[in-house]
Amino acid sequence: MMIQPIDLPADPERAAAVHDILAEAARVDGVDAFSEQFLLGLTDARRGHRHLLALEEEEVRGVAAGDGASWEMVVAPAYRRRGVGTALLQALGEGDVWAHGNLPAAQALAQSQGRRMTRRLLVMAITGEELQAAAQFHPHPEVEALDLPAAIERYRRDVVEEAWLTANNEAFSWHPEQGGWDRERLSRAQETDWFAAEDVLFLWETGQPHLAGFHWTKWHTEERPEFGEVYVVGLASAFRGRGLGGPLLRLGLQHMVGKGAGKVILYVEADNAPAVRVYEDLGFAIAEEHVVWSL
C-alpha cells in the first residue's frame, strides 16, 4: 500500500471511487465522514483542496482531504484494521484532523498517534411538540421579514448580497469556516444542489434597506422523513442587544415547520456555552458531535 497525492477534480474515475467509499462508510458508521465542503472539493477544483489516497494495487482503500486549515479522512470499511488509517494519519504530519461522529475507532486511532481533542462541534436537534412551540414567530415592530427573492425584488441583488455578507462577516469574524466571506464565496455557496433562495430569510429594519440579520435554512432530502437545519444565523453588529436573536431563530423554525419538518438540527461549538443554553432552553438536545484531533 502507498500514500499518493492525487488531483481528484482532474481524475473523475478515482473521485467516483472515493464517493463510493464515503457512501459505504456512512452506511456502516451512521455518520458522514466528509463534511459538505470537503465533499464538494472532490470534484470542484476552485476549492483548492489537497487529496491523499491510500492505494493498494491501484485500488483506493482510503482518502484524506485537506483545505489548508484541516483534514478529513475515511477508510473503506472492508479495509479497516489493516493499517490504512494509521498510514494516512501519519502522512498528514501535524495537520488537524476532523473525526465526524467522534466514533470509538477514530478516538483510538487518534490517541495512538499522540493526538488530543482540540475542538468539539455539537449537532443539536429538536422534534415534536417542542419544535412546534419553538417555531412560533411573532412580528417585531422594528423589523420586517423577507425571504431572499422578495428582498432582491425590493432592494436589488447587489444591495442584498453586500448586506448579507456584511452581517455574516460581523457575526462570524472569529469563525474559521464561516468568517471572511466575499461575493465569490457566497456565489459558490448558492451553486450547491440543495440551495433554495426561498429558504434564506432576512429581518430588515422596517421601511429601510438596513439588514438586521439573516437565517439561512437548509432542507435535507437524503433521509425520510425530510428535515430542516438551522444552517447559518447571524445578526449585524448594529442590531445586537435589541432582542432580535430569538425572533430571527424562530422565523427560520417556523419556515421549516411550514415545509413539513418534524425535526430540525443545528451545529454549534461546544465551548459556546451561551448559545448552547439558548438552544437547550428552546428544546434542542445534543444528537452527535464532531471533533478535531491535533498534535
Annotated binding residue at 15? no
Annotated binding residue at 36? yes
Annotated binding residue at 235? yes
Annotated binding residue at 229? yes
Annotated binding residue at 272? yes
Look at the alpha carbons of 293, 29, 58, 20 in this order and tell me if their dihedral is positive or negative: negative
Annotated binding residue at 102? no
Annotated binding residue at 236? no
Longest dimension (CA), the chain: 66
Three cell numbers, residue 11: 481524475
Element (H, E) at 294: strand 285-294
Annotated binding residue at 234? yes
Rounded Cα gap, residues 164 and 158, in angstroms: 10
Annotated binding residue at 65? no
Annotated binding residue at 80? no
Rounded Cα gap, residues 257 and 287, in angstroms: 19
In the numeric block, the cell 428544546 is attached to 283
Annotated binding residue at 192? no
Q: How far is CA 273 from each of CA 2, 28, 184, 280, rounded to the nearest angstrom?
A: 43, 32, 32, 10
Cα angle 216, 217, 223; round to 5: 155
Annotated binding residue at 218? yes
Strands 2-5 and 211-220: unpaired
The answer to whether 244 touches 213, Cβ cutoff 8 Å, is yes
Three cell numbers, residue 62: 482510503
Annotated binding residue at 180? no
Annotated binding residue at 82? yes
Annotated binding residue at 85? yes
Annotated binding residue at 233? yes
The answer to whether 264 touches 228, Cβ cutoff 8 Å, is yes
Q: Which residue ranges are tagged as binding site for acetyl-CoA?
A: 81-86, 233-235, 272-277
Q: Which residue ranges are tagged as binding site?
A: 36, 81-86, 177, 218, 229, 233-235, 267, 272-277
